[in-house]
Amino acid sequence: MSGLLEGRGTRGRNWFDGVLAAAMAVGVVLGVIVGAGATSATEPSTHALDAAGCLLLIVAASALAARRASPVPATVVATAAFLVYYGRDYPVPVLAALPATITIYTLASLSYRWPAVAATAALSVGKLVAGWVRSGDPLHSVPEMLWVSGWLVAILIWGEVTRHRRAYLHEVHQRAIDAERTREEAAQRRADEERLRIAQELHDTLTHAISVVNVQSSVALHLLHRKPELIEPALLAISEASLEAMRELRATLGVLRVADTAEPPSLAQLPLLAARFERSGLRVRLHVRGETRPVPPNTERAVYRMVQEALTNTARHAAPATVDVELTYQPARLDLRVDDDGPGAAAPVTEGYGLRGMRERAAALGGTVATASRPGGGFQVHASLPLEHPAPAEDATGHAA
């Protein structure tokens, strides 16, 4: 029944309420005519149904057309029409009360709690007073008034239950919309993080490889006519850098097709990384301090990429130079320090994608990176990363292309 009284949508509700009002007017008038004939012998009334009585029934039923557009006025009209109908002792008053009870239900279901209570009280008290005036006995209509009041209270409760159910269904629907939006946002965030991770990997790989190729090709051109016998090491370094770049590019781009099966960068590969740069003209010294212990894979990858970026920058801007790479195991952190003794920069260092990528990798793991020119010449990179973090990122999530 509550579903029939609710309708669907604003236009649908207006149409439904109009049809309900018309059907109620016809049904109540016909019901009173039929009911008056059936109960005339057992429950005689003072007035037979006349034009005024039919008009009161039609007015009460017509109020239903505005029960949701203007619920309080509609309830006032339906209740007043019923009380006048009942006070004039027209037959079958219970049918005349139907529009008023429906409007009271509508008030309760639309959160008009106090107007609904007031309408219920007015209907009950008005029925008691009308019965008193009609019979002359103040207690004559008390049993009937109590019976009607019980039904009106039940209708009030029904309206409240409908309101709570509607609110609950709206909340469930809103939660479903929010959950769908959250899933879409999470999927977009994962896609962005993966895109940025691949961009960071490509930047680190290509910058390292191209820098080595550039330095060694310059060396080879310089020695071509002076000392051709020394060209071979430079060409070997170019070959190794190219092969390493191809391998890492294949592993990185493989993520776009299938699962990455290549061995990820780790601390164990630092000696090989140092050896490649030594063939490029750098002198790299690795130092490990503190008690070594297992390091989270994401932290290992971040440290490897930071060392690779620092050595690449040194090879590009300060070669030949000596670079000290120092790993220090703290109780809860892993400190990385990369110092070179190159000539240093004539102007303040402008942070590019490489240094920015270091900071983003560290921030993704809950760590920090500090970079600065050394007073006596050279450059220093200092990173501090936690050995345990609650939600390690897959890799740097910031822009590093």
Tell me the pLDDT tens digit for each residue of 177-187. Answer: 877 777 777 77
Who wins on pLDDT, 315 or 154? Answer: 315
Domains along the sequence of the chain with CATH: 2-140 (no CATH), 184-386 (3.30.565.10)
Q: Which residue has the higher pLDDT, 346 or 280?
A: 280
- Chain center to CA of 354: 33
The mean pLDDT of 56-76, rounded to a whole number, is 85
Confidence of residue 201 (pLDDT cuts 50, 70, 90): low
Q: Which residue has the higher pLDDT, 270 or 147?
A: 270
Query: How confident is the model over 71-100, as a mean pLDDT?
Result: 82
pTM above 0.85, yes or no: no
Q: Which of 32-41, 188-197, 210-219, 291-300 has the highest mean pLDDT?
A: 291-300
- pLDDT of 364 reads 85
- Average per-residue pLDDT for the chain: 75
Q: Is the pLDDT of residue 349 over 70?
A: no
98-102, 143-147, 334-338: least confidently modelled range: 143-147
Average pLDDT over residues 346-363: 73
pLDDT at 384 over 90: yes
Span 315-338, pLDDT tens digits: 777 777 889 999 999 988 999 999
Q: Where is mean pLDDT largest: 190-199, 213-222, 304-313, 343-352?
A: 304-313
Lowest-confidence region among 122-126, 199-203, 345-349:
345-349
- Residue 135's pLDDT band (cuts 50, 70, 90): low
With a pLDDT cut of 90, the percent of the chain lying above it is: 7
